[in-house]
Amino acid sequence: MASDPSLLAGPSPDGPASGGLSGEKTAGGSGFGRYLRGRLTGSVASLVLVYLSSFFIFRVLGGDPLQAIAKDRRMTPEERAALREQLGLDQPLLAQFGKYTADVFSGNFGTSYQYRRPVMELVLERLSATVLLTGTALVLSVAVGLWVGARAGWRHGSRLDRAHVGVSLTLWSAPTFWLGMIVIMIFARQFGLFPVGGMVSHNVGPGLLAETLDVAHHLVLPAITMTAVIYAQYVLVMRSSILDEIGHDYLTTARAKGLRDDLVRRRHAIPNALLPTVTLVFLQLGGVISGAIVTETIFSWPGLGRMVFESIGFRDFPVLQTTFVLFSAAVIVANMCADIAYWFLDPRVRKA
């Protein structure tokens, strides 16, 4: 073997390459700026598209809000024309869009047709209820899903693995409304353990503690229903992600250095397997705002999802537009946060 004698004695045999290394390091700072700019541009473009479609999509949907507002009441043509003018619906579509845009930029999201109140007020009122329900369900499903997925993947093919995947997939494929009704029938009707729906009781005693407990009591069934339906995605993503890592030699290296098997899993396999789940969690984080329309409807939960459901039937354009933009913006922002988080979590992204 023709080995260069200078290699045996010489310092820094990979000198030139290590010189390049320090160069990369200094370029790291401006790299993040460029990365961030790229993500921001993409997000802003998506937001503009969402804004445009938010206005037109509900108008294309068809249906006349006046019919819903009038309900059974008979209206004279004059009354109809007056109402139409009052709501601005007599203007051409482009003029309506111009007014909508001007209003939005001045912070006015319009007035709901059905509630006759500013949309922003309605949204803010219901936001906390939705965030409470879907936030709880998200935290539960992420925690349960990742834990179960990591264990199932680590012992893939075992009975535990098959049982967990089977159960989570069954729940995932069960329709939410059906599962919700079964849960209500068993735990609320049959055993009377939890309230059938709503978020607060009317006859609750005064005091912060009593009120909190009351809300928590109402929260149990919808949160569990929602968790049961969505936790399967975390199980499956985490499981396959762990399976990807299991084949890697660095786990063998760690074992050969004397690390115990469960520590190999916790220190090496799980942190690396978590990366793909970050995207999923952040996407769902965006969904926390939009909530679960079906779950909220079944459990009469006073959140945004139920308001949207009712507004669709009513053709309540201002509410629909605003919530559409809000929900989409939440997902876009959450996705951008995921990209930014990746920069810090995965050193390989910094290279790209």
Partner 1 sequence: MSEPGLSARGLRVEFGLPGGRTARAVDSVNIRVAPGEVVALAGESGCGKTTLARALLGLERPTAGAISYDGTPLRYSTRALKAYRRSVQLVLQDPTGALNPRHTVYDAVAEGLRIHRIADNESDRVATALSHAGLRPAEKFFLAYPHELSGGQRQRVVIAGALVLDPKIIIADEPVASLDASVRGEILALLLRLRDEFGLGALVVTHDLGLAWSIADRIAVMYLGRIVEQGPAEQVLTDPQHPYTRALVSVLPDSPVPGPIVLSGEPPDATSIPAGCRFHPRCQVLASGAAEAAGVADQCRATPLPVLADDVGAGVSGDDPTRQVACHYAAAATRSEA
Query: Which residues contact partner 1 (rule: CB under 8 A)?
Result: 1-4, 7-8, 11-14, 17-18, 21-22, 24-25, 248-250, 252-260, 268, 271-272, 345-348, 351
> Nearest distance from residue 5's CB to partner 1, in Å?
9
Q: Which is nearer to partner 1, 25 or 159 (CB)?
A: 25
Q: For partner 1, which is the closer residue by CB, 74 or 159?
A: 159
Whole-angstrom distance, CA of residue 307 vs CA of residue 200? 17
**Nearest distance in Å: CB 154, partner 1:** 17
Q: What is the 3-state secondary structure (H, E, C) of 199-250?
A: CCCCCCCCCHHHHHHHHHHHHHHHHHHHHHHHHHHHHHHHHHHHHHHHCCHH
d(CA 272, CA 274): 5
Residue with smaller CB distance to partner 1, 139 or 259:
259
- Which value, in Å, is the radius of gyration of the alpha carbons in the chain? 27
If the CB atoms of residues 194 and 342 are measured against partner 1, the closer one turns out to be 342
To partner 1, the closest distance from the beta carbon of 349 in angstroms equals 10
Residue number, 22 or 190, with CB nearest to partner 1: 22
Torsion angle, CA of 294/148/236/248, rounded to 10 degrees?
A: 160
Buried b / exposed e over 14-48, threshold 16 CB at 10 Å, is eeeeeeeeeeeeeeeeebeeebeeebeeebeebee
Nearer of residues 94 and 256 to partner 1, judged by Cβ: 256
Question: In this complex, which beta carbon is closest to partner 1, that of residue 21 or of residue 210?
Answer: 21
**In 10 A of CB 171, how many CB atoms?**
17
- Scanning the chain, the segments in alpha helix (DSSP H) are 5-9, 15-60, 65-70, 77-87, 93-105, 119-154, 159-173, 176-183, 208-246, 249-256, 261-264, 270-290, 293-298, 304-314, 317-345, 347-351
Instruction: Return d(Cα 123, Cα 318) in angstroms, integer.
Output: 11
For residue 342, give Cα distances in angstroms to 37, 182, 238, 283. Answer: 15, 40, 17, 13
The CB-of-287 to partner 1 minimum distance in angstroms stands at 28
Name the residue among 49, 47, 64 with its Cα closest to residue 317.
64
CB of 9 to partner 1, least distance (A): 9
Give 133 or 264: the residue with its C-beta nearer to partner 1: 264
Least separation, in Å, of the C-beta of 30 and partner 1?
17
Shortest separation between residue 244's beta carbon and partner 1, angstroms:
12
Q: Which residue has the tokens 């993409």?
A: 42
Q: How far is the CB of 37 from partner 1 (least distance, A)?
A: 23
Q: What six digits make up the tokens of 267?
A: 């220190």
